[in-house]
Chains A and B, each alone.
Chain A
Amino acid sequence: MVAATRWQVEQVFAVAPKPSSVAAAQSLAVPGRWVGAGCDARVVWGRCAGGSAEPYECVVDHVGVAFRCSCPSRVLPCKHSLALLLLWARGQLAEGQAPTFAAAWVAKRTAAEAPATAPAADPAPAADPAPAAAPSTVGTDDGPSTTPSPPERDPTAGRDDRVARMAAGLAELDRWLNDRVRTGLADPALASYATWDALAARLIDAQVGGLANRVRRLAGVVGAHPQWHEQVLSELGVLHLLATAGRQLGSLPPSLADSVAAAIGWQVRQADVLAGVPHTDHWVIMGRSDVREDRIEVRRVWLRGATGGQWAMALSFAAYGQSLDASMVVGTQLHADLFRYPGALGLRALMGRRHADPQPAGPVAGCSIALACAQVGAAVAAEPWIERYPVCVLAAPARAGARWVLTDAGGSLPLVEGAIGVGALLACSEGRPVPVTAEWTPLGLVPLTAHLADRAIDLGPTADASFLAAVS
């Protein structure tokens, strides 16, 4: 039996067939709604009172990613399965021995899988890395226990289905993009959120959620500022790039294919990431940034190795009423193992073993503006679709016309207009050069941290406390 790592909430969201399923599951994801719920290294289970006289019996195989629920829903996975996974992801299920209904289902699955596991052990060809990233979101439901199991399962069937859906979704996206530039950005249809939302919904159906998120974000740009046409056009170009690259994953170099796959929405299982080679260093927590994306808050924590100087990013997610990970505090450093997700830049990482308690970080060095430009340029060249990249510069906030910039003796970079932390950065620095960690975005720099001599000031955008369970 494989000892599985507990999923993160984001992975549960990733297997949801549609956003409304997540919303429905949230209301059921409270321990009081369940009887006899528990988990072990293979499955999670529980009984949930529903519309029928008998409670629905629900089991989820979190290793093989399959679902079984006695409810009448045809949606796979159903809200009960998602709710169970959410409870498990939040650590609200006790470990125990599976009840009869769960054990019987697992036994049936194990028997059905036995002949199929041998080919599964054969790794995917290196030239086609995207399928290797697929398992975390490939879900199947082999139906109620009364349905006879197929005699033999093709372990790649789900993956192939998903690849086909994804290719169709990417082709549709490209058609939509062509329509937009054909009719022009002045087309009044662009001002309607429904224009974008309908596409985003179809991209979700095609399981390219990463692109759906970008499309929804873009909808908010239309008319938001005088230069919105330029921003929308750039992003349409990036979407075209991803739609094209996503249909050619097999012909791309492996690390680039991994990056494209991640950008369009393939999820990599945590277990696969944690099985990689750890990158051990004293990781300085350089900055934090919270952003609301659709119905979840996303927290990015930027870390930089004190020894190697390499950047990494830890992500955490919170739906309404949940908490973001507050264990990494800006201005501290952690001696820890990091496991990087595959990709050309390999920024995203999971925190593994922590070798010591967090300590205050020492002095932080910032580079010149010119060097920061070179770093950003190299990162964009490696992954042209990135929307943010961290830099740490030794620079002063200054006024260039109507806009604030970060400047040093060699040059300047604009700060994003209206960025939350600009006022605090000005106050902290009093206009003098200080090491500043910032996120580069196509619209300018977003200041995240001012590293003063005696303290690090967290300036990053903060999640809406009323949305979360607690201020984190």
Chain B
Amino acid sequence: MIDHYWRQMLTVALLGTDRREPPVPPVGGLADLAADDPQPTPSQRLLQQVAGCTVVRRAGIEAGPPVATVAPPAADARPVTPHSASATWRRLVADWPVLEDEWVLAVIRNGRRCAPDLVPMLLARHRGDATRHARALVAAGPLGPWMIDWSPRLACSAKQPPVAELLGEVPELPIVPELLPLLAAPPTEVARTLAAGLSCAQLGSAHRAVLVNLLARVPPASLPAVAHAIDRVDPSSPSIGLAFALADLAHLRQHMLTELEPA
């Protein structure tokens, strides 16, 4: 009855009380309200009844009928990534997206599965890139296709199929030829070269992109020494801001790889 009355009032409100009189309230509390506090104009009467009816409908909230639950996805025996890794993923997506490919590959290589709460975001982020989307599905396990069944917008929208040989490798990043040897150099040499370049401002903001790429691809064993050396760059150097950023990247990458180690 209250829903019918509400529909009648909605019709009057759409047309306006200049064109149509408000309906008479049904017997009960709303009729009592109208009788106790009579309003002089149709618009005031309608507002009073709308207010009363809104409160009655909201306060009288009722559960709908129970609904059949959905069948769960197939079980995945791989250990889930630790809770802290979810926070790390969110941070690197926001600040250092250059690390994301390595994060997903580390999850897969270390025999883990991606934390379920990240799966929709991971699939949605890479729906336009077939290779990355395919990697995300591997990291997600059976949960990935199951989520796509329920939420088709998470499916891959790329027209090109994934490139099989790229699935298991991090993509190459552009690094200037002068710095390329550092990818294979001993950790101490990498650290010394970067720290010296930043201290004397030989490496500055113009080199930021290639230095980021370099730090995202140097062997993980180099990261502690690199981070340690960059942390100690002369604070008076014009490149100190860049040094801070690179140190953050090195620390985050090191942290990311540590927390994704096999369970």
Within 8 A of A (CB), among B193-216: none
Q: Which partner residue on chain A sits nearest B45 by CB separation?
A: A181
Q: A412-B67, A455-B83, A471-B94 are in contact. Are A427 and B14 (CB under 8 A)?
A: no
* Bound CA–CA A174/B67 (angstroms): 42
Q: Is B172 an interface residue (CB 8 A)?
A: no
**B50–A233 touching, CB < 8 Å:** yes
Q: Is B221 an interface residue (CB 8 A)?
A: no
* Bound CA–CA A124/B153 (angstroms): 59
CB distance from A163 to the nearest CB of B (A): 23
**B94–A233 touching, CB < 8 Å:** no
Q: A184-B15, A373-B61, A430-B143 are in contact. Are A411 and B66 (CB under 8 A)?
A: yes
Chain B residues near A229 (CB-CB < 8 A):
10, 13-14
Q: Which of B15, B58, B90 has the most CB of A within 10 A?
A: B58
Q: A182-B17, A373-B63 are in contact. Are A241 and B116 (CB under 8 A)?
A: no
**B59–A384 touching, CB < 8 Å:** yes
**B16–A233 touching, CB < 8 Å:** no
* Bound CA–CA A240/B121 (angstroms): 42
**A237–B54 touching, CB < 8 Å:** yes
Q: Is A108 an interface residue (CB 8 A)?
A: no
* Bound CA–CA A236/B117 (angstroms): 38
* Bound CA–CA A423/B60 (angstroms): 29
Q: Is A369 an interface residue (CB 8 A)?
A: yes
**A241–B14 touching, CB < 8 Å:** no
Q: Is A426 an interface residue (CB 8 A)?
A: yes
Segment of B69-77, B238-246, B248-256 engaged in the interface with chain A: B69-77
Segment of A196-204, A290-298, A309-317, A392-400 engaged in the interface with chain B: A392-400
Within 8 A of B (CB), among A305-352: none
**A240–B13 touching, CB < 8 Å:** no
Q: Is A258 an interface residue (CB 8 A)?
A: no
The 0/1 profile, CB within 8 Å of B marked 1, for residues 412-425 of chain A is: 11100000000110
Q: Which partner residue on chain A sits nearest B144 by CB separation?
A: A427
**A431–B117 touching, CB < 8 Å:** no
**A450–B14 touching, CB < 8 Å:** no
Chain B residues near A459 (CB-CB < 8 A):
117
Within 8 A of A (CB), among B85-130: 90-91, 94, 116-117, 119-121
B contact patch SS: helix
A181 in complex: contacting residue of B43, B66, B69, B72, CB < 8 Å: B43
Chain A residues near B62 (CB-CB < 8 A):
373, 411
Band of interface residues on A: 35 or more
Q: Which partner residue on chain A sits nearest B22 by CB separation?
A: A181
The 0/1 profile, CB within 8 Å of B marked 1, for residues 83-102 of chain A is: 00000000000000000000
Q: A184-B18, A423-B120, A455-B83 are in contact. Are A178 and B43 (CB under 8 A)?
A: yes
Q: Which of B59, B91, B94 has the most CB of A within 10 A?
A: B59
* Bound CA–CA A361/B127 (angstroms): 36
Q: Is A432 an interface residue (CB 8 A)?
A: yes
**B47–A407 touching, CB < 8 Å:** no
**A405–B60 touching, CB < 8 Å:** no
Q: Is B258 an interface residue (CB 8 A)?
A: no
Chain A residues near B50 (CB-CB < 8 A):
181, 233-234, 236-237, 240
A187 in complex: contacting residue of B16, B68, B116, CB < 8 Å: B16
Q: Which partner residue on chain B sits nearest A442 by CB separation?
A: B58
* Bound CA–CA A182/B58 (angstroms): 25
Q: Which partner residue on chain B sits nearest A426 by CB separation?
A: B150
**B17–A398 touching, CB < 8 Å:** no
Q: Is B166 an interface residue (CB 8 A)?
A: no
The 0/1 profile, CB within 8 Å of A marked 1, for residues 15-50 of chain B is: 111110000000000000000000001111011101
Q: A423-B151, A424-B121, A427-B143 are in contact. Are A240 and B47 (CB under 8 A)?
A: yes
Q: Is B53 an interface residue (CB 8 A)?
A: yes
Segment of A39-47, A63-71, A374-382 engaged in the interface with chain B: A374-382
Q: Is B55 an interface residue (CB 8 A)?
A: yes
**A465–B13 touching, CB < 8 Å:** no
The 0/1 profile, CB within 8 Å of B marked 1, for residues 201-239 of chain A is: 000000000000000000000000000011001101110
21 contacts between A and B (CB under 8 A): A178-B41, A178-B44, A182-B17, A182-B43, A184-B14, A185-B16, A229-B10, A229-B14, A236-B13, A237-B52, A384-B55, A405-B64, A407-B67, A412-B66, A414-B64, A423-B154, A424-B116, A424-B120, A430-B116, A454-B83, A465-B94
Task: Point out residues on B near A: beta carbons under 8 Å.
Answer: 9-10, 13-19, 41-44, 46-48, 50-55, 58-73, 83, 90-91, 94, 116-117, 119-121, 143, 146-147, 150-151, 154
